[in-house]
Structure 1
Amino acid sequence: MSQKNHIDGIKACVFDAYGTLFDVHSAVGKYRKQLGDVADQISLLWRTKQLEYTWLRSLMKHHVDFWQVTQDALDFTFDMHQITDQGLRKDLMNAYLSLKCYPEVPEALSLLKSRGFKLAILSNGTPEMLDSAVKNSGITDLIDVNLSVEEIGIFKPDSRVYQLAVDRLQVHPQEIIFQSSNAWDASGASAFGFNVAWINRFGQSKERLPGKPDFEIKKLMELPGLLN
């Protein structure tokens, strides 16, 4: 935890989706038996390439949506592991539309909602991907708006993505607290001007990047206690 132990003046809580609210490894988890001993390797490489492709495409100015990026990353991963089962590929992609949320997410969001905070998702995901994940997790009534980078056509951590939350929620950056389990995303949001709670679920090392999270927590249920 940083030196801060609480924060005042917050009007909106904005959440990253993948890895923060939704468990990106739960897709492979559904097909662990079919994938065997390499299941964890496949899940990790799939996620790594997915993120790499968002950054590289943004730099190259060749945008495609996150659904295409996710397919491309899976195809790379299958090639690396010499997997040719197209039925399994289809199953894994479909599983990405119904990722499980982390166990504490519904309760934490419900508590924040009851205290009058605006709740939004700000994600690389397409609107269709986000709508599906939210519905599958049973949190539709808790989220006020899903914000997708497809509105502007570039991925995080471009500052225009974070500005999207300011514009759509009609609040100042300092009235937003942003949550991400991705350290690079937490840094990007902080550099933009958000208050940031980094949900360090897996004991990651701190990034050496501009922007420092205001809080470091392990689970989302710690967030309500930070907000006055």
Structure 2
Amino acid sequence: MTLDAHAIDAAGPRRRHLLQLTGSGLAAGLFASSARAQADGGSVKAVAFDAFVTFDPRPVFARAEQLFPGKGAELSNLWRIRQFEYTWLRVVSQRYADFWTVTEDALRFAAAAAKVDLTADKRDELMGGFLALKAHPDVLPGLQALRGAGIRLAFLSNMTERMLQAAIHSAGLEGLFEHVLSTDTLRTYKPDPRAYQMAIDAFGLRREEIVFAAFGGWDAAGARSFGYRTFWANRLKLPAEGLDAKPDAIGDTLADLVTFVGRT
């Protein structure tokens, strides 16, 4: 099944609007079709989330502009790119370091490349932003709708458990996720197949019964290659990756994910 953002927009603007307005009370109405599918033996039983589908990192990068006026955008772009490139390089070279360390290493590189003075105080402030992340506005009602339909939820993230737990607390999402899975426990990173296997092992389900919600196009391709039905939350409205594994659906928000799961 392939469903892009335009198809979702055409199919459900009223339901998306209700989702934003009514929050958890929407589950019975918006997601009734999925609940019926579950009762009839529908196959989707769980959703595994990349952390940045739910957590909004933009305030961290906005703070970079405040600390380094006129240089924040350059610093942030360099930082984000290196943050993930370093995870892949460390897996390939078998020189593992956890995501907190990788993030700090990437920040130091970005500061040097952007030619800004990254003092210890400014470094700590920017790094600390990853422990105080908030949720995107559409997240809580979307998660409540999924839970109301009997869908099990987990994080499956490259972030360390400390980072994930801090962000869950900061965003007020305690009690919504059955599992908080960090690839740090395996000393690897997505798209290593061993990382995606973690959700299967934790849920005790078949991969066909799990939808993976990805933030990055590369992560969507990795999860699809592994065998998950995959939803790409393309919040940055980026073009599709030039890879041979395409997500099953693409949307902007968790309302679009709810629609996709309800049809699957």
Place the TM-score, normalised by the shorter chain, in its bin: over 0.9
User: Any idea what SS the aligned residue of 1:37 has?
Assistant: coil
Contact 2:108-2:118 at 8 Å conserved across structures = no
Kindly provide the amino acid, as one letter, of the partner of residue 111 in structure 2.
F
Rg (Cα) greater in structure: 2
Matches within 5 A, 1:21-32: 21-32=54-65
Q: TM-score, normalised by structure 2?
A: 0.82
Moved more, 79-88 or 59-68: 79-88
In 2, are the aligned partners of 1:53 and 1:69 still within 8 Å (CA)? yes
Output the CA distance in 2 between the equivalents of 1:145 and 1:110: 16
Q: 2: distance between equivalents of 1:222 and 1:41?
A: 31
Identify if the C-alpha distance between structure 1 residues 3 and 129 changes in structure 2 by more than 3 Å, giving closer, same or farther: closer
Query: Aligned equivalents of 2:171 and 2:131: distance in 1?
Result: 11
Q: Are residues 1:33 and 2:66 paired? A: yes
Residue 131 of structure 1 is matched in structure 2 by 165
1:169 equivalent in structure 2:
203
The normalised TM-score by structure 1 is 0.94
RMSD: 1.8
Is 1:210 aligned to residue 210 of structure 2?
Answer: no
Name the counterpart of 2:30: none
- Post-superposition offset of 1:3: 5.0
Query: How far does residue 31 in structure 1 lie from its aligned partner after superposition?
Result: 4.6
Give the corresponding residue for 1:186: 220
Query: 1:24–1:47: 8 Å Cα contact kept in structure 2?
Result: no
Q: For 1:143, give the aligned amino acid.
A: F
Instruction: After TM superposition, give the deviation of residue 49 of structure 1 in Å.
Output: 0.4
Q: 1:175 to 1:96 in 2, by over 3 A?
A: same
Distance (Å, rounded) in 2 between the aligned partners of 1:98 and 1:3: 33
Question: Is the helix fraction higher in 1 or 2?
Answer: 2
Mapped pair 1:219 → 2:253: yes
Counterpart contact for 2:64–2:76, Cα < 8 Å = no
Partners of 1:26 and 1:221 lie apart in 2 by 22
Aligned to 1:92: 126
SS in structure 1 at match of 2:55: coil
**Mapped partners of 1:163, 1:16: distance in 2:** 14
Say whether 1:108 aligns with 2:135.
no
1:49 aligned partner? 82
1:52-91 equivalence runs, <5 A: 52-82=85-115, 83-91=117-125
2:236 match: secondary structure: coil
1:6-21 equivalence runs, <5 A: 8-18=42-52, 20-21=53-54
- State the shift of 1:207 in Å: 1.0
Quick check: 2:50–2:155 contact (8 Å CA) kept in 1? yes
Contact 1:108 1:224 in 2 (8 A): yes
| Unpaired segments ≥5 residues, structure 1 | none
Q: Which amino acid aligns with 1:218?
A: D
Would you say how many aligned residue pairs link Structure 1 and Structure 2? 227
CA positional deviation for 1:70: 0.5
2:208·2:229 contact (CA, 8 Å) conserved in 1?
yes
Distance 2:240 2:166 in 1: 31
After superposition, the Cα gap between the structure-2 partners of 1:76 and 1:224, relative to the gap in structure 1 and judged at 3 Å, is: same
Gaps of 5+ in 2: 9-33
SS of equivalent to 2:51: coil
| Pairwise CA distance, 1:32 | 3.0
Alpha-carbon separation, structure 2, partners of 1:63 and 1:149: 11
Please say if residues 99 and 136 of structure 1, whose CA atoms lie closer than 8 Å, have aligned partners that are also in contact.
yes
Against the structure 1 CA distance between its residues 3 and 98, is the aligned structure 2 distance closer, same or farther, given a 3 Å change threshold?
closer
